[in-house]
Amino acid sequence: MAAVVFALSVACSKSSPAGHDTPQVTCQKANDIQRKATAAESAIASGSAGAKNAIDELGGAVLGARRAAESGTPPAIDLAVVANDVDRLGVDFNDKNPAVSTDVNTLKDSLIKLGMDCSNILTG
């Protein structure tokens, strides 16, 4: 996941007229989500006792960003997919399901898509 780099050279701190975050702000939050996803992946891979907490923190960040995102924008759509991936990962991790490694890979793919969309928005 660390290979995905979000270009955050363009920053916009204004909210959209509907009170939701602009796509630029959502993409700034996506950068934090990427860091939390990398931490969760590392914790899972190492068998760390903090893996569940890392997954929970990731889920909280995704949920917050998703709720604040301007509906219908590419980052909002991507975050909905990421949220589903994180939820599935959390359930499988708690159930000690062997699908966790597949869940991590699926999450990586979703984060790559989010990163590409954010790159287009922030550098566009």
Residues 64-87: pLDDT tens digits? 999 999 999 999 999 999 999 999
Please tell me whether residue 92 adopts helix, strand or coil conformation. helix
pLDDT reported for residue 16: 53
Instruction: State the pTM of this model.
Output: 0.84
Domains of the chain: 23-123 (1.20.120)
Q: How far apart are the first and last CA of the chain?
A: 23
19 — pLDDT class (breaks 50, 70, 90): confident
Taking only the tens place, the pLDDT of each residue in 20-42 is 999 999 999 999 999 999 999 99
